[in-house]
């Protein structure tokens, strides 16, 4: 599991995939989310703009990301 440090929450799910390099673009990130390839906290997530907060765990393409804020 890899920690992803964000400056503020909430952050939209597709942006995390894009900025962490798991998707080549925002459009690609939205597509893989819509195709039910991403899980948030163990549940398949299809909302592209799902609000992600500190402590959420995202799984995609064999990667596991935990969201933490810079202040914690």
pLDDT tens string 9-29: 899 999 999 999 999 999 999
Write the CB contacts of 39 (distance below 8 Å, at least 6 apart in sequence): 45, 58, 59, 60
Q: Residue 72 above 80 pLDDT?
A: no
Question: Residue 70: which pLDDT band, with cuts at 50, 70 and 90?
Answer: confident
* pTM given for the model: 0.92
Sign (positive/negative) of CA torsion 22, 18, 70, 53?
negative
Overall number of domains in the chain:
1
- CATH number of the domain residue 27 falls in: 3.10.290.10
User: Which residue range is the domain that position 50 belongs to?
Assistant: 2-69
């Amino acid at each position: 599991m890899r920690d992803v440090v964000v400056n503020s929450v909430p952050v939209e799910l597709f942006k995390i995939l894009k900025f962490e390099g798991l998707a080549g673009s925002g459009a690609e990130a939205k597509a893989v989310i819509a195709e039910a390839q991403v899980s948030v906290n163990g549940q398949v997530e299809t909302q592209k703009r799902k609000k992600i907060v500190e402590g959420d765990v995202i799984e995609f393409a064999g990667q596991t990301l935990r969201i933490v804020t810079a202040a914690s």
